[in-house]
Amino acid sequence: MYIREFYYNDDNRMLYVEFSTDNDGDETYRVLELTIEDVMYYSPNIIHEDDMYKMDENDVIELIDQYSTENDLPEESIL
């Protein structure tokens, strides 16, 4: 999995992630937007809102992996 971009917007309390899976082509990406409550639910570790600013790519990958066990990933978009 390749994380293209991610950031936490504290105004609307949403995590925005652009990523590609190993099966996606080089010209496609996916967008996932999760509320802070979703992040807390799907995170493999206990997480608080303050932790959102300390997340790294590995944390985001683990979060997406856990999310995908219960949900379909978003559709691919063309770059």
pLDDT tens digits along 21-41: 988 877 899 999 999 999 999
The Cα–Cα gap between 78 and 31 comes to: 11
Nearest alpha-carbon partner for 19 in 61, 53, 58: 61
Residue-number span of the structural domain to which 22 is assigned:
2-78
**Which amino acid would we find at residue 15?**
L
Mean pLDDT, residues 4-9 taken together = 96
d(CA 78, CA 3) in angstroms, rounded, equals 15
Number of domains the chain is built from: 1
pLDDT, average across residues 35-60: 93
Q: Give the mean model confidence (pLDDT) for residues 44-68.
A: 93
Cite the DSSP H helix spans in 1-79: 36-42, 57-70
45 DSSP assignment: S
Token pair belonging to 65: 């992996």
Amino acid type, 27: E
Q: What is the pLDDT of residue 55?
A: 94
Q: Is the pTM of this model over 0.95?
A: no
